[in-house]
């Protein structure tokens, strides 16, 4: 079993590799709600970069939602206070429930002052993946109402109470996840990373409903 601090150190090292390779090319205006300019994995350099980033994500602290044998894996940087993360979780149900996609939630705590404590509470629960699923499910109705009103707000604490003190090992995991997010120039949640039908790496922040099929593939 990989120790938490070793896993975090490996993620930081991979993130440094990505930064050194010059991947920090997206200005903020491009990164927000836009698809990244990654090409399909056509050349050896493209394929090497894709595998480096994919390895970075595989070694991050993520929570699975969906079947392990699902034909498509989608990584999503998720803040437990993010209403748009909750909407994405809800919108993804048809693909996840059908066994077509496994979401891997890379947990970060960046949105509000209680986000780190809630992220830590989630990661220290007895079954973090189940806790996340229950929490997201319980917030869907309130989030839909808030978004429809045009007044989005952070998710409530029902289901996850923020920790006052974050254990060092958990803080290291959260720091490593945030480092990966920064290395990939992803500046908002949900930030989604996936491989397209050609194996090319794709990324975007924000998930409008019209892009779901491109990210998730066939239902």
Question: Over the chain (219 residues), what is each successive 10-residue block's mean pLDDT?
Answer: 42 45 32 44 76 94 97 97 97 97 98 97 97 97 96 93 97 97 95 91 89 91
Residue 197 has what pLDDT?
Answer: 85
Find the domain containing 37 and state its range: 4-21+33-207
Residue 172: inside a domain = yes
Residue 219: inside a domain = no
Residue 112: inside a domain = yes
Residue 26: inside a domain = no
Rounded Cα distance, 206 and 189, in Å:
7
CB proximity list for 19: less than 8 A, separation 6 or greater: 183
Helix (H, G, I), strand (E, B) or coil at 64: strand
In the chain, the number of structural domains is: 1
**Closest to 81 measured CA to CA, from 162, 172, 192:** 162
> What does pTM read for this prediction?
0.83
Residue 91: inside a domain = yes
Residue 9 has what pLDDT?
Answer: 45
Q: By CB neighbour count within 10 A (0-12 exposed, 13-18 middle, 19+ buried), where does 2 fall?
A: exposed
Give the CATH number of the domain where residue 181 resides.
3.40.30.10
Residue 41 has what pLDDT?
Answer: 54
Residue 142: inside a domain = yes
Peptide bond between residue 190 and the one before it cis (omega within 30 degrees of 0): yes
């Amino acid at each position: 079993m990989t120790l938490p601090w070793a896993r975090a150190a490996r993620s930081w090292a991979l993130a440094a590799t990505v930064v050194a390779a010059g991947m920090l090319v997206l200005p903020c205006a491009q990164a927000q709600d836009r698809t990244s300019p990654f090409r399909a994995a056509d050349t050896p350099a493209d394929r090497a970069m894709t595998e480096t980033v994919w390895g970075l994500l595989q070694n991050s602290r993520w929570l699975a939602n969906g079947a392990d044998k699902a034909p498509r894996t989608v990584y999503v940087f998720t803040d437990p206070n993010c209403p748009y993360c909750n909407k994405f979780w809800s919108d993804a149900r048809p693909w996840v429930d059908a066994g077509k996609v496994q979401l891997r939630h890379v947990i970060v705590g960046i949105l509000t002052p209680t986000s780190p404590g809630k992220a830590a509470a989630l990661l220290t629960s007895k079954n973090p993946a189940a806790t996340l699923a229950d929490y997201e499910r319980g917030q869907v109705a309130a989030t839909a109402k808030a978004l429809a009103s045009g007044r989005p707000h952070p998710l409530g604490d029902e289901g996850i109470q923020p920790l006052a003190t974050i254990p060092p090992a958990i803080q290291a995991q959260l720091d490593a996840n945030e480092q990966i997010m920064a290395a990939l120039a992803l500046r908002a949640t949900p930030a989604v990373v996936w491989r397209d039908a050609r194996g090319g790496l794709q990324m975007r922040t924000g998930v409008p409903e019209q892009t779901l099929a491109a990210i998730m593939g066939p239902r």
